[in-house]
Amino acid sequence: MGLILDFYRPGRSWLHRLDPRVKLWGMVLGLLLAFLLPSTGAQALFFLAILLLLRGNGIPWNALHWLWRQIRFLCLLILFLQPFFTPSGETLVALGLLRLTLGGVNHALGLTLRVLTMSFLTGGLLFTTEQRQLVRAFVHLGVPYTWGLTLSLTLRFLPAISSLLGTVREAQAARGWVAEGNLFRRAREYLPVLVAVTIGTLRMGDQLTLALAARGLGTASKRTTWRDIAMRPADWRALVGVSVAFLAVMGLLR
Partner 1 sequence: MKKAIRVEHLTFAYPPLIVGETPEPLFHELELNITAGEALTVVGRSGSGKSTLAHILAGLAPRYTGGELTGKVRIGEQDLVAEPPAPTAVGVLFQDAATQLFTSSAEDEVAWGLEAVGAAPAEIGPVVMNALRKFRLLGVNKRPPWALSGGQQKRLALASLWALRPRVWLLDEPLGGLDPIGRAEVLAALAQLRQEGATQLFTTARMERSSWGDAAALLTGSALTAPATWGSWRAQQARLVAAGLLCPAASWTRLEQSARTPDSALALEARNLCYAYPDGPAVLHGLDLRIPQGQFVALIGPNGAGKSTLIRHFNGLLRPTSGSLQIMGKKSRGLAVGELARQVGFLFQRPEQQLFATTVRKELAYGVRQLRLPDVEERVERSLVRFGLTDIADHPPAILSYGSQRAVTLAALAALETPILVLDEPTVGLDGRGWSQLLEWMAERRVIGTTLIVVTHEMSLAARADRVLAVRAGHIVADGLPDVVLAHFGKQA
Report if residue 62 touches partner 1, rule: CB under 8 A. yes
Q: Residue 98: beta bridge partners?
A: 95
CA distance 143 to 24: 14
CA distance 148 to 133: 10
Instruction: Tell me how far, at minimum, the Cβ of 3 lies from partner 1, in Å.
Output: 6
Q: Which of 243, 194, 252 is nearest to 30 (CA)?
A: 243
3-state class of 91 per DSSP?
strand
Number of residues that bind partner 1 (CB under 8 A): 60
Q: Which of 51, 204, 239, 249 touches partner 1 (CB under 8 A)?
A: 204
Question: Hey, which bits of the chain come out as E strands?
Answer: 91-95, 98-101
Interface mask toward partner 1 for 67-106; x: CB under 8 A: ----------------------------------------
Candidates 83-91, 115-123, 171-179, 234-242; binding stretch for partner 1 (CB under 8 A): 171-179
CA distance 233 to 104: 46
Q: Which of 167, 185, 186, 253 touches partner 1 (CB under 8 A)?
A: 167
Q: How far apart are the first and last CA of the chain?
A: 46
Interface mask toward partner 1 for 1-40; x: CB under 8 A: -xx-xx-x-x------------------------------
Instruction: Tell me how far, at minimum, the Cβ of 31 lies from partner 1, in Å.
Output: 24
Q: Which of 220, 233, 251, 252 touches partner 1 (CB under 8 A)?
A: 220
Interface mask toward partner 1 for 183-202; x: CB under 8 A: --------xxx-xx--xx--
**Max intra-chain CA distance, the chain:** 69
**Quick check: 5 and 163 in contact, CB under 8 A?**
yes
Closest CB to partner 1 among residues 112, 131? 131
**Quick check: 249 and 29 in contact, CB under 8 A?**
no
- Cα distances (angstroms) measured from residue 183 to each of 165, 176, 217: 19, 19, 45
Residues that bind partner 1 (CB under 8 A): 2-3, 5-6, 8, 10, 61-62, 65-66, 130-132, 153, 156, 160, 164, 167-168, 170-178, 191-193, 195-196, 199-200, 203-204, 206-228
